[in-house]
Amino acid sequence: MDELSERNELTLYELTTKLVMKHNLAISRQAIAKHLSALEAAGLVNSKRKGKFRVLHFNKEPLLNLLKGWID
Tens-digit pLDDT profile for residues 5-60: 888 789 988 998 888 888 888 888 889 889 999 999 999 999 999 899 889 999 98
Task: Calculate Rg over the CA atoms of the chain.
Answer: 13
The answer to whether the beta carbons of residues 39 and 1 sit under 8 Å apart is: yes
The answer to whether the pTM exceeds 0.85 is: no
Domain definitions of the chain by residue range: 2-71
Residue 54 confidence (pLDDT): 87
The answer to whether the beta carbons of residues 12 and 29 sit under 8 Å apart is: yes
Q: Read off φ and ψ for residue 8, nearest 5 degrees.
A: -65, -40
Architecture of the CATH domain 2-71: Orthogonal Bundle (1.10)
